[in-house]
Amino acid sequence: MKYDVCIVGSGAGAGPVIYELANAGFKVLVLEKGPWLKTEHFSKDDMTATRRNIYAPALKDEFHVLETKDSEGNWNAVPTHESKRDFWNGSVVGGSSNFMSAYFHRLKPKDFRLQSEYGDIENANITDWPISYDELEPYYAKVESVVGVSGVVVPHKNLEPRSTPDYPFPPLVVNKIADWFVEAGAKKNYNIIPAARGIISVPKGDRRACYLSNYCGSFGCSSDGKGSARAALINDALKTGNVEIRPDSKVFHLETNEKNEIIKAHYYDLVGRKNSVEATLFVVAAQAIETARLLLLSKNPSCPNGLANNSGNVGKNLIFSAVATGSGLIEFNDFSAEKIAEINNPMTFVNRTLLDFYEIDEPESGKKIKGGTIDFLIEHSNPMPKAVRAKKDGERLVYGSEFKKNLLNYFTQKKRIRYEAFTDWIPNNDCFVTLSEEHKDKWGDPVAKVRLGYHDANKIPGEFLSDISKGVFEELGAKNISGGISTGPTVNLQAGGCRFGNDPKNSVLDKNCKSHEVSNLYITDGSFMPTGGSVPFTFTIYANAFRVADKIVERLKKA
């Protein structure tokens, strides 16, 4: 059978395309590398989800080679099966959207014109987007309605223009400590406001509402309240009868004809047999690193350096999210019994954010630069990290009765509060994907080799936001406050590698995420993003995929 569209991957970049094409009546085949886990397969088993990592491939079979720079400036390449550094995200139907925390912040208008607003950065590849915020705004609104976003819109100085007055789902219930954050921020003249979440607070169709466990990050949702591509989009698309999902199908080559059009996707099935499928159009949404790898593996006479790569841009300008994180302890002995009673319950959502510093003044020059977003939260409900912390007294490991005492104290006499600050990861020439020349996966194909170059310009806003966050913690009355910036990549937030733009010389895709060189190839995961903004990427990936889906539907209807 020849399908109208073959889609590689099934996460946030694929879900909206699957949903829109199926509802428009087109025949869609989805090739997903991982298994098809259903809602009933997800639980709050901390060993399964965070210690054994069963939602990602075994590193002995599939791995990456990561290049990092040492203190002497040398690049060292180490396969992840040797370092045991997992660099995968949710290899299952629905992809890593199954395991996201679902903080849904829109990009701001200035994020779309970063170069025009703030100028060039030395040794960086900053550029404006080929589309504006206004072009994407209707699709942000569509995600809020279709995928389901809960929250409340309140005025603040960096509020982006909206076509709808509020989120379609009421805010999730939060712990009373959310008010403590707001009050502490107000004392420092900060406007800490409710944060939107891609989690439904009331039932929607077959999906049950969130039951407020706060097992979102790293865990699959057992109520379907979280807006994963699987729960929010693919399950409904399947009802049309127009979608076929083939799990355990690892695509390794996209075959083209003499016109450089893709005619077949070749894949391995669960037992390693080679198969192929035909389609009119092909959409790749395998997450940034693996999307770039697939194109580089798909060489042909017209594209000897990789499919859609005659410009040499495939794999280049990979971006992550630059983050600063930290924590502090609320010691119950420091507060009245009445105050502690307010917060000492299993309710662990905070959903409070600070956007006052999305733009800041550079300390030395005084010029305006991008700042970022701060989210405040309580420690994850997973007991395993808490138990690990109780295992230590400084650098000393404790055992027996001392360990039991620490456990009792940690679980009953304190709460750990946290902050996560998001800033732009600056695209640069030392952050990219190539193919390894010496390492291959279990099928014999070269694995992705990822150079993880970090630009020092990330540090200024990260340190600034970290200091702001610590100040709020101090005002709130927390102790043992620590935190700072991280120069490591946020593997759960990856984008770039196939950036879109108007000039084929410095971009892989056009403004509608169609390859400049391959007329029937679209890429709809985060690969398209030339810059990532100062927020998590998933909301924007969803919105853009809905936008591109409209373009694909329009094209197929004209054919």
Three-class secondary structure assignment of 287-309 = CHHHHHHHHHHCCECCECCCCCC
Residues in CB range of 73: below 8 A, 6 or more apart:
none
Q: What angle do helix axes 15-23 and 538-558 make, rounded to 10 degrees?
A: 30
Confidence bin at 166 (pLDDT 50/70/90): very high
Dihedral-angle region of residue 37 (phi above 0 means left; psi in -120 to 50 means alpha; beta otherwise): beta
Which pLDDT does position 371 carry in this prediction? 96
pLDDT at 60 over 90: yes
Residue 472 contacts residue 377 (beta carbons within 8 Å)? no
| CATH number for 523 | 3.50.50.60
pTM: 0.97
Enter the tokens of residue 46.
């901390």
Mean of pLDDT values over 58-74: 94
**Lowest-pLDDT range, 352-366, 430-444, 502-516?**
352-366
- The mean per-residue pLDDT over the stretch 23-49 comes to 92
pLDDT at 559 over 90: no
Alpha carbon 389 to its chain's center: 27
Q: Is 51 helix (H, G, I), strand (E, B) or coil?
A: helix
> How confident is the model over 176-231, as pLDDT tens digits?
999 999 999 999 999 999 999 999 999 999 999 999 988 899 899 999 999 999 99
pLDDT band at 365 (very low <50, low <70, confident <90, very high): confident
Could you list the beta-strand ranges (E) of 75-212.
75-79, 192-194
- Number of folded domains in the chain? 1
The residue range of the domain holding 346 is 2-558
